[in-house]
Amino acid sequence: MPWKIDDLDTPSVLIDLDRVEANLRRAQDYADAHGLRLRPHIKTHKIPDLARRQVELGAIGITCQKLGEAEAMADGGIRDILLTFNLLGRAKLQRLVALARRVRLSVTLDNAVVASELDAAMREAGLVLPVLIECDTGGERCGVQTPEEAVELARLVAALKGVRLEGLMTYPARGQTEVTAAWLGEAVAGLKAAGIEPGVVSTGGTPDLYRAHEVTVATEHRPGTYIYHDRDQARASLGLEACAMSILATVVSRPTDGRAILDAGSKTFSSDSLGLDGFGLITEYPQAVLAKFSEEHGHVDCSASNARPRIGERVTIIPNHACAVSNLHDVVYGVRGNRVERVFKVEARGRVQ
Amino acid sequence: MPWKIDDLDTPSVLIDLDRVEANLRRAQDYADAHGLRLRPHIKTHKIPDLARRQVELGAIGITCQKLGEAEAMADGGIRDILLTFNLLGRAKLQRLVALARRVRLSVTLDNAVVASELDAAMREAGLVLPVLIECDTGGERCGVQTPEEAVELARLVAALKGVRLEGLMTYPARGQTEVTAAWLGEAVAGLKAAGIEPGVVSTGGTPDLYRAHEVTVATEHRPGTYIYHDRDQARASLGLEACAMSILATVVSRPTDGRAILDAGSKTFSSDSLGLDGFGLITEYPQAVLAKFSEEHGHVDCSASNARPRIGERVTIIPNHACAVSNLHDVVYGVRGNRVERVFKVEARGRVQ
């Protein structure tokens, strides 16, 4: 493909392939150095080619959040998938059985209803599904609330024939590594006291990725955003130099001296601000503020910027939340310098079920 | 299609076809009664079948925000399209020319750069493109800043051969009908004084749709969200009974007595809160609050609700912002009562360019 970035129309999502490679290697090297296994969460990119690259570099498999994502990744050649979601209902369980016949599949659960449904579906299919108990170590989403509840649910799972306890899983609260470590340490001790070998202890998240080894009982980590980074993650670690995703946009209007309007809004970026000032960093005009989105327009306040863009000028913007951007686009462009080297179809986009 | 809603997996987007029909007829009747033409904005649904229904009921054509949306609608049989966006750049202008050969196309602009580019492209193609001057009557997005600037830009356009002045267009500030009316009235007077016949004066928006006739110089209105309504629009008019879109979701976790977790998050709903308390109304549990989204989970605070959902239970949620939901889904389901009558492909979804 002889394209240059200049040949792309706007808005387009650019992925810096060198930065992706550096981000993946950095994390894998870290995990290897600490004896941790890496199981990247593909929610950030949703692209089988990139998932395969993660595995090539040493990841033991991948993590998916939705069954439809896992199916897309299996279609793309991934052979080991952890699905970190409570799965319920006949339609999903039928698909789960079909997927379990194709790949090495494991699933999380946090309650007896899900355990019972999984067990029944797998027994009927003559399969045994590895499951992990989801633990709410402070993230306040899903998960059993205490180490004691984790042990209790593990005992329940251990008594079933269609599922097999593989270990514990948490999506931890950001910046709470000590709390996560204490919670999981207690749960592991409780399991051992109950005669249950915990096996896998899986933690997640990019913000505290490079502290994952401090959770001493952890055996694997599931970072997602680390592949692209974004303006939110740049606050936590590594800075903007690690950001591999950017949005190419055009200034289409300059209604006032202090206002510029881009051809990219919330339907290109999402409305995820993640508490940051502005919705993205305009790399050519770092003092300008991407202050507001309409659905298809970005409102730039350039009153504090000495340099101001002209109508027709193109700018590149590092988004606040890379995962949300991937979820809006059918394709993204893999670039090196000014060359467009790859067009990636975002295969798992929109697989909400 | 003999499906029932119970046969759909979750999350799914449901469109109540009777409410859609009532919403479209109500607006068309209003427009007809006041001698206004209706030119619905399809950004809300992005579905050619629904656009055709809008035209069948009396709309003179449709409005699109992106060129890609307009192409999808032309493919779907729509013959009269207003594109309310400043278009720039060789790639887009080539596509614009191709589209102008297929349908009755008009475009807005708010500056001389865009006027010049459109003019050159159209002259080269041997076409004359009708254009409307975009006016910033208080919405503070694109648009010339004063009625005087509108007249000035209209004069400039009138001197060009590849474009032809069709009129004025605004996306008004919400609840500012008097301001909009005064601004446009002054601009129309200015045009007439300059010997320019304004022709079309196009206003937009659903919140003030039923006050559109108060902008006495307006000849057409471009409502978008009125087809589905949503929790945001319900505040402004008509209430929740007009809301035709809902999300079918499943309770997958009950980590605490006061917290329920749904299998639908910001990648199903978007993060658009639009300043409302909670991200949607759970129709079965109106006292529960959809308090927060993860990407694939909805966090429900049901502590203030006497009735609380059990794991595996399905709920239907009216979203805060219907347009953002459409933009996330490849298909939505047209329902009547418990019957699923149609599967609509959201053809213009993701057409950001």
Can you tell me which residue has the tokens 């000849």?
Answer: B219
Where a domain ends, among A192, A209, A229? A229
Q: How confident is the model at residue B238 (pLDDT cuts 50, 70, 90)?
A: confident
Phi first, then psi, for residue A207 (nearest 5°) are: -55, -40
pLDDT score of A236: 79
Query: What are the tens digits of pLDDT across the range B70-120?
Result: 999 999 999 999 999 999 999 999 999 999 999 999 999 999 999 999 999
**Overall domain count for chain B:** 2
CB contacts, 8 Å: A272 with chain B? 266, 271
Out of B11, B271, B295, whose CB is closest to A353? B11
Q: Is the peptide bond before A147 cis (omega within 30 degrees of 0)?
A: no
CB A153 within 8 A of CB A133: yes
Same structural domain for residues A221 and A242?
no
Global model pTM greater than 0.95:
yes
Interface test with B, best of A12, A108, A263 (most B CBs within 10 A): A263
d(CA B12, CA B15) in angstroms, rounded, equals 10
Domain that includes residue A297, residue range: 5-11+238-345
Give per-residue pLDDT as tens, A16-46.
999 999 999 999 999 999 999 999 999 999 9
What per-residue confidence (pLDDT) applies to B21? 98
Please give the pLDDT value at position A186.
Answer: 98
Mean pLDDT of chain A: 97
Of A253, A268, A270, the CB nearest to B352: A268
Question: Cα torsion for A184, A188, A189, A191, to the nearest 10°?
Answer: 140
Q: Summarize the confidence of residues A203-219 as an average pLDDT.
A: 97
Whether residues B199 and B326 share a domain: the answer is no
* pLDDT given for residue B236 in this prediction: 78
Work out the average pLDDT over A252-266: 98
Mean pLDDT, rounded, for A312-338: 98
* pLDDT bracket for residue B274 (50, 70, 90): very high
Per the CB < 8 A criterion, the answer to whether A151 and A187 are in contact is yes
Work out the average pLDDT over A164-171: 98
Measured in whole angstroms, how far is the alpha carbon of residue B63 from the centre of its chain? Answer: 8
Is A86 part of any domain?
A: yes
- Give B346-350 contacts, CB < 8 A, sequence gap 24+: B346/B45, B346/B46, B346/B47, B347/B46, B347/B47, B347/B48, B347/B72, B347/B75, B347/B76, B348/B42, B348/B46, B348/B47, B348/B48, B348/B64, B348/B68, B348/B69, B348/B72, B348/B73, B349/B46, B350/A328, B350/A329, B350/A330
Of residues B1 and B211, which shows the higher confidence score? B211
Pull the structure tokens for residue B174. 């919400």
State mean pLDDT over A145-152.
98
Chain-centroid distance of CA A323 in Å reads 6
pLDDT tens by residue, B296-320 = 999 999 999 999 999 999 999 999 9
DSSP B239: -
Residues linked to residue B248 through DSSP beta bridges, in sequence order? B12, B316
Q: Report pLDDT for A259.
A: 97
Tell me the residues of chain A between 273 and 302 that have a Cβ less than 8 Å away from chain B.
Answer: 294-297, 299
| Residue B237 pLDDT exceeds 80 | no
In the predicted structure, residue A2 carries a pLDDT above the cut 80: no
Chosen domain end from A229, A258, A287: A229
Q: What is the pLDDT of residue A235?
A: 87
Contacts of B248 (CB under 8 A, 6+ apart): B5, B8, B10, B11, B12, B13, B14, B314, B315, B316
Strand partners, B316: B248
Residue A171: half-sphere exposure toward Cβ, Cα within 13 Å:
23
Give yes or no: residues B120 and B62 share one domain: yes
Q: What is the mean pLDDT of residues A121-143?
A: 98
Q: Are residues B154 and B103 in the same domain?
A: yes
pLDDT in tens, B179-193: 999 999 999 999 999
pLDDT band (50, 70, 90) for residue A1: low
- Determine the residue of chain B that is closest to A293 in CA distance: B141
> Which amino acid is located at B227 in the chain?
I
CATH number of the domain where residue A98 is located? 3.20.20.10
Which of the residues A253, A254, A303, A340 would you substitute to probe the B interface, choosing the one with the greatest number of B C-beta atoms within 10 Å?
A253
pLDDT of A63-91, one tens digit each? Answer: 999 999 999 999 999 999 999 999 999 99
Whether residue A305 is contained in a domain is answered as yes
Has residue A284 been placed in a domain?
A: yes
Q: How far apart are CA B263 and CA B300, in angstroms?
A: 11
- Other residues' Cβ atoms within 10 Å of the Cβ of residue B308: 18
Residue B350, both tokens: 């993701």
Domain boundary among A196, A229, A262: A229
Residue B2 pLDDT: 64
CB B311 to CB A114 under 8 A?
Answer: yes
The pLDDT, as a whole number, for residue B319 is 98
% of residues, chain B, pLDDT over 70: 99
The span from the CA of B92 to the CA of A302, in Å, is 26
Other beta carbons within 10 Å of B148: 12
Given a contact cutoff of 8 angstroms between Cβ atoms, the answer to whether B162 and B127 are in contact is yes
Q: What percentage of chain A has pLDDT greater than the value 70?
A: 99
